[in-house]
Structure 1
Amino acid sequence: MSIVHKATLTPSKNEIFGAWLATQTWCEGDLASMIGSYRFDDPAGRVGIECVLLEVGESVVHLPVSYREAPLDGAEDFLMATTEHSALGTRYVYDACADPVAVRALLAAALTGATQEPMDVYDQGRLVERRDTVVTAVGTGSWSPDAVPHLDGVTIRSHGATPRVEAGGFTVTVKRVADGSEAEGDESITVAWPGGSGALVAVTHL
């Protein structure tokens, strides 16, 4: 279960994502709307992990992000923005490809065959809504969760439309633009949204 707080963000997610995408050379067009997102949980409950699908120009953009209560050491170049969350205070929003907690969550989902977490909305500690699933995500693997390595850090080998990150003896590849081709690896995360589907995250053993 992924807990989502009923809250306002200043600036909003759309403002954060739109401003960040406008600086990316691989992204063409303006942010039109958010299609939906899927989440995997941080087992420690400290880092929010969300993979957002956006309509940008004529494309569907897949954007993994992480939300932290404090800056992530060594990831200054991957900070998208800071935002004020009306329930949680200041949140630091990162490109999740540079966040070891987020990368491990994607790695674990691909290797173990996990599905996205249901999104339960809480207001002042009270469950008020379980959001309908617009975007689904499921891993292809059959590993035991105990076999997934813990990560001390990640090494970004390429960054752009298709980032490649080395972590714990694996390469994790993310497709940022859903263009009909699929991320290739030993295991993957298949994502489905209204009007499309495909493997947008892949994992390869080094």
Structure 2
Amino acid sequence: MAVHHPATIAPTKRELLQAWVPRQPWTGGGDLTELTPVGSYRFDDPDGEVGMETHLLATPDGRVLQVPLTYRGTPGPPDTLVTTMTHTTLGDRWIHDGCHDPVLLTALATTVLHGGREADLDEATPDGLTLLPATTHVRGDGPTPGAPTHPGDWTHPHVEHTGTTTVVRAPRHNHGLRLVLPRVVHPVPVPGATLRGTWPGQDTPVVLAVLTPDPPPTP
């Protein structure tokens, strides 16, 4: 369960995404003058310390970009920092690129392998927590022939961008896994254990992440 705290935030999520996303190498170019939110999904941090949210953003030229972010109460790795945010309820927040954040990567791999889904989102009110309706839904494949059986250790991930795809590798001595995230999502079949999702306007599930064993390098 994730909790939304009503607050004033600066910059807003839309502002920070509009400023940061067009400068990234995985967008594929195109028209990025206006990024419109079409959905988002969250995972839970078992320790309750890190907020995790993946944003789905429509571009003026008809594409949908996938942007995982994490929200921390203390700074994470400085080279993965997107921006800082002032939150009137939670105080200062450090926003990080989720593809580099071990907490999000662990949650994503676990969701894929265990057949999990997005976290419920509750709103904190004076009368307690109120469940907010979800419009974006994701689901992991669960146990799949040939897929890994352990979510791995993502403490020191290695991140590469190739075109509009991000590949994240866990260290080989820590199970040697690979997460592949299409940053421009598209409804095509992808082999491996997957996370698939739907959102308003996208009723057919599309692949949002693939978890596979990381093959050894070619000699």
Q: Confirm or deny a common fold (TM above 0.5).
A: yes
Q: Distance in 2 between matches of 1:194 and 1:137?
A: 13
* Partner in structure 2 of residue 172 of structure 1: 179
String of CA shifts for 1:176-196, please: whole Å, max 9, x gaps: 1123335x3421100101222
Are 2:158 and 1:161 equivalent residues in the alignment?
no
* Partner in structure 1 of residue 3 of structure 2: 3
Shift of 1:118: 1.0
Q: Which structure is larger by alpha-carbon Rg, 1 or 2?
A: 2
The equivalent position to 2:154 in structure 1, one of 151, 155, 160, is 151
String of CA shifts for 1:147-174, please: whole Å, max 9, x gaps: 4334322111336621100124210011
* Partner in structure 2 of residue 190 of structure 1: 196
Map 1:77-156 to 2 at 5 A.
77-123=79-125, 126-127=128-129, 129-142=130-143, 147-156=150-159
Shift of 1:124: 5.9
Contact 1:64–1:95, Cα closer than 8 Å, also in 2: yes
Could you state the TM-score of these two structures normalised by the residue count of structure 1? 0.88
Paired letter, 1:43: P
Q: Which structure 2 residue ranges, 5 or more long, are not aligned?
A: 215-219
Structure 1 segments of 4 or more deviating over 6 A?
none
Paired letter, 1:148: P
Contact 1:97–1:103, Cα closer than 8 Å, also in 2: yes
Q: Distance in 2 between matches of 1:81 and 1:180?
A: 31
String of CA shifts for 1:31-65, please: whole Å, max 9, x gaps: 34211211111111111111111122221111111
Aligned residues: 200
Are 2:213 and 1:205 equivalent residues in the alignment?
yes
Change in 2 beyond 3 A, CA 1:173/1:88 = same
Identity over aligned pairs, percent: 31
String of CA shifts for 1:53-104, please: whole Å, max 9, x gaps: 112222111111111111113xx33211110111111111111000011111
Q: Which structure 1 residue ranges, 5 or more long, are not aligned?
A: none
Are 2:53 and 1:55 equivalent residues in the alignment?
no
Kindly report the root-mean-square deviation, in angstroms, between the aligned alpha carbons of the 2 structures: 2.1
Contact 1:31–1:54, Cα closer than 8 Å, also in 2: no
Paired letter, 1:10: A
Paired letter, 2:184: V
String of CA shifts for 1:96-117, please: whole Å, max 9, x gaps: 0000111111111111110111
